[in-house]
Structure 1
Amino acid sequence: MTVRTLFATRFYEDDLGDAALLAELEDASLDLAREDRAGVAWSKAHGYRGYTSYASLNDLPSRDPRFADLVRLLNKHVARFADACAFDLGGRKLKLDSLWVNVLKPGGNHSGHIHPHSAVSGTLYVATPPGAGALRLEDPRLPMMMAAPTRRADADESHATFVYAEPKPGSVFLWESWLRHEVVPNAAKGERISISFNYR
């Protein structure tokens, strides 16, 4: 008998590799959460528990050299992930499309979603106090499983319907942008700070 594994879903995990920059990014993120009035207003109007620059600032790398330094590091991580995915880019490189800060207060979450019009999406975790929660990834075949039985409790990760990726400060997570994911509620006593981004 032969059983083959087909249509693998890649998920990338690595450390940013620059602890000093990580500390600077924490300061930069908290500065934005205090000073970006449009972002604060958008977060409040849309029920985001905390602050995000998602809808207010689209120029962080040109606005602040700390974010420009981050992009230089992310470009290397994304290039390695693109190679692991066997992308045929015709000699070109994936390019940063958007980058935004998230400061999630205790109890805050972000429901399941995808990132349309992008090739690779990801998050850098800047501050993850104990209990801050994981990134929950959903099996992309779930809508098509129809009458499929549930999986055994001892099934390995490759058979799971949902996989929880536990970040730590400095964790870089990357995935293809069609992969549905969500931010589980922040059960920590402090704020979870992350920087999310899309490449196209």
Structure 2
Amino acid sequence: MTKIRSLFATRLYQARLSEHGAIDTDELEGSCYSIAEDDEAGQDWCEEQGYPGYTSYASLTDLPWRFPIFSDLVKVLDKHVAGFAEDLEFDLGDKSLVLEDIWINILPEGGTHSSHIHPHSVISGTTYVAMPEGASALKLEDPRLAMMMASPTRKKGCREELKSFVYVAPQVGDVLLWESWLRHEVPLNMAEENRVSVSFNYKWE
């Protein structure tokens, strides 16, 4: 009897932040802009690297200390990450998944964030603060893609699990989590207003 199974699952977690605690996204957005305005080192880094808009990734490591809203956010994210780790059936032993870093992304019209992974982390993710109409979705890449040397393309409308790329269009207040080895990118932002998000990594220690 013929039997076809799906193996080696790539899991994606999507939920509302509010499932594990209330976060005022208006206050969070205001804090993001306040930090961006004062972060001269981050502004300089973005300019030197040709990074569109602003990110605090290379300049600030203490957002939860600077603004209480980020401290509250981390407490909520901890619960979401714990739930995802349970779904992934990780055997964490006597260690746990803890926040490694958290940073702001402000992507203007026409801005992109090229395909990348997050080395040395276990779970990565993003929560969405401002997603104006036309803001770009998150693009996720099949981790096997580079090994599909002679494989035909998939049929249009094929099952999601068979697609080479999956686009996820989150809403404000959503949180997405994935394992850090999963390659992802932010395509061209077609919105006239900024796309604002907060991204983060969790490590095992």
Distance 2:97 2:23 in 1: 26
1:103-142 correspondence runs (5 A): 103-142=106-145
Structure 2 match to 1:154:
157
Distance 2:142 2:111 in 1: 23
Moved more, 19-28 or 186-195: 19-28
Any idea what the Cα deviations from partners look like across 1:148-197, whole Å, max 9, x if unmatched?
11111131100000000101101100000000000111100100100000
Report if the CA contact (8 A) 2:130-2:194 is conserved.
yes
Distance 1:29 1:94 in 2: 25
Report if the CA contact (8 A) 1:51-1:103 is conserved.
yes
Report if the CA contact (8 A) 1:139-1:160 is conserved.
yes
Q: Which amino acid aligns with 2:8?
A: F
Structure 2 match to 1:67:
70
Gap runs ≥5 in structure 2 = none
Report if the CA contact (8 A) 1:16-1:170 is conserved.
yes
Q: How many residues align?
A: 200
Report if the CA contact (8 A) 2:132-2:194 is conserved.
yes
Report if the CA contact (8 A) 2:23-2:72 is conserved.
no
Report if the CA contact (8 A) 1:135-1:181 is conserved.
yes
| TM-score using structure 1 length | 0.97
Structure 2 residue 92 is matched with structure 1 residue 89: yes
Structure 2 residue 36 is matched with structure 1 residue 33: yes
Report if the CA contact (8 A) 2:23-2:69 is conserved.
no
Structure 2 match to 1:11:
12
| Aligned-pair CA distance for 1:93 | 2.2
| TM-score using structure 2 length | 0.95
Distance 1:24 1:72 in 2: 16
Structure 2 match to 1:196:
199
Q: Runs ≥4 in structure 1, deviation > 3 angstroms?
A: none
Gap runs ≥5 in structure 1 = none
Report if the CA contact (8 A) 2:138-2:185 is conserved.
yes
Report if the CA contact (8 A) 1:106-1:187 is conserved.
yes
Report if the CA contact (8 A) 2:125-2:177 is conserved.
yes
Distance 2:118 2:78 in 1: 18
Distance 1:113 1:184 in 2: 12
SS at match of 2:57: coil
Cα 1:20–1:9 change in 2 (3 A) is: closer
SS at match of 1:95: strand
Distance 2:82 2:94 in 1: 12
Distance 1:155 1:4 in 2: 16
Q: Which amino acid aligns with 2:46?
A: S
